[in-house]
A = this chain, B = another copy of it.
Amino acid sequence: MTVSAAGEFGLIDRITARLGAAPACLLGPGDDAAVVAAPDGRVVASTDVLVEGRHFRRDWSSAVDVGHRAAAANLADIAAMGAAPTALLVALCVPPDLELGWAEGLADGLSAEAASVGAGVVGGDVSASPTLTVAVTALGDLGGRPPVLRDGARAGDVIALAGRTGYAAAGYTVLSRGFRTPKLLVDAYRRPVVPYAAGPTAAVRGVTAMVDVSDGLLADLGHLAAASRVAIDLRRSAFDVPDQMRDAAAALGVDPYAWLLAGGDDHALAAAFPEDVPLPDGWRAVGHVVHGSGVTVDGRPFTGPAGWDHFR
């Protein structure tokens, strides 16, 4: 059955029937708005949109994959503030001839990714559109802590990373060259593995700045460095090239460090830790903060591709 045959309310019913409950959800879908617990007295909120053909392809990713990725992109932004995600709202624009099963798969992916951090889908809207589009808003709670911004890094801080970089970019390159393996990389592109808990953990330890790595490590640390008015130097030796990435890079004629340092969409977290703070589990040192501006690798500019601009 197509979404057009199901109708607006039929589609909404089929989607909401698949959503799990969440502890912070005081009122879920069905009324004019949802009500979400915000025990801290402040709410952290972020919106990210995925557009078919630009952020995903239906022949590369299943509906469930796209749901996971749309949720992850937003939940990672909440974690990067040091907050715990509580809820998602979803605006879904679909071509009228889309199979209802695709929308249901998307709901399953969104709900499962949210559930993995104790959050849930609490509301949304659907519309017909020629372009399949998924806009997600994530909410989160700071648990009494100050939010971790981008502008607090100081010379002497250690730059540390939680999660992976380069895997999703490598998977994207593999898929765009017509391959379906290695599975490790392709799966990383389809469903990022995000270290959500590392965000609040780092916040508790007193990191001075933190960012979600969505555009690429060099680009996002560039934003952090600019906001903090400092420079960052990364240590190339801190980045291991996994075997399957090395093999794929060799086969495709790509520098694997371009993936590791400039590839986006894995949604790792990068943060600046004061020198005397021991790194918590899940974080590893990859560089340090110095006086100046810009981001370098072993003291020199990295000459690979820069971050992703959605209009170029």
A residues within 8 Å of B by Cβ? 3-4, 6-9, 11, 26-27, 30-51, 53-55, 76-78, 80-81, 83, 87, 89-93, 96, 122-131, 133, 135, 137-140, 142, 147, 149-150, 210-212, 227, 309-312
Inside 8 A of A96's CB, which chain B residues have their CB?
311
**Separation in Å of the A60 CB from the closest CB of chain B?**
18
CA–CA, A49 to B50, complex, Å?
Answer: 14
Residue in B9, B48, B93, B137 whose beta carbon sits within 8 Å of that of A45 in the complex: B137
Contact B47 A211 (CB under 8 A): no
Contact status A309-B137, CB under 8 Å? no
A270 to B69, CA, bound (A): 38
A92 vs B51: C-alpha distance when bound (angstroms): 11
Q: Which of B48, B140, B311 contacts A91 (CB 8 A)?
A: B48
Q: Which residues of B contact A44 (CB under 8 A)?
A: 33-36
Are B46 and A310 interface neighbours, CB within 8 A? no
Judging by beta carbons under 8 Å apart, are B41 and A43 in contact? no
Taking CB as reference atom, which chain B residue is nearest A44?
B33
B89 to A46, Cβ gap below 8 A?
A: yes
Give the distance in Å from the alpha carbon of A74 to the alpha carbon of B50 in the complex. Answer: 21
Cross-chain contact B131 with A35 (CB below 8 angstroms)? no
Residue in contact with A131 in the complex, picked from B33, B93, B124, CB distance below 8 Å: B93
Which chain B residue shows the least CB distance to A215? B8
Beta-carbon contact of B127 and A83 below 8 Å: no
**B residues within 8 A CB of A124?**
47
Interchain CB contact under 8 A, B93 and A127: no
Say yes or no: B125 contacts A49, CB within 8 Å: yes
Check if A137 sits within 8 Å of B47, measured CB to CB.
yes
Q: Are B34 and A309 in contact (CB under 8 A)?
A: no
Q: Which residues from B are CB-within-8-Å of A92?
A: 49
A39 (CB) vs chain B CBs: closest residue: B41
Q: Do residues A310 and B139 form an inter-chain contact, with CB atoms below 8 A?
A: no
Assess the A311–B8 pair: CB atoms within 8 A.
yes
Q: Which residue of B lies closest to A77 (CB)?
A: B32
| A77, A127, A135, A227 interface centre (most CB from chain B within 10 Å) | A135
Query: Please, which residues of chain B bring their CB within 8 A of the CB of A211?
Result: 32
Q: Which residues of B contact A51 (CB under 8 A)?
A: 93, 127-129
Offer 29 A-B interface pairs, CB within 8 angstroms, sorted by A: A3-B311, A6-B311, A8-B312, A27-B147, A27-B149, A32-B76, A32-B77, A32-B80, A32-B81, A32-B211, A33-B45, A33-B80, A34-B46, A35-B45, A35-B81, A35-B142, A37-B41, A41-B41, A43-B43, A46-B89, A46-B123, A49-B91, A49-B125, A49-B135, A51-B128, A51-B129, A93-B133, A129-B131, A130-B131
Kindly report which residue of chain B lies nearest to residue A37, judged by CB atoms: B42
Instruction: List 3 tightest A-B contacts by C-beta distance, closest first.
Output: A33-B46, A38-B38, A135-B135
Structural contact, B89 and A147, CB atoms closer than 8 A? no
**Nearest CB in chain B: distance from A266 CB, A:** 15
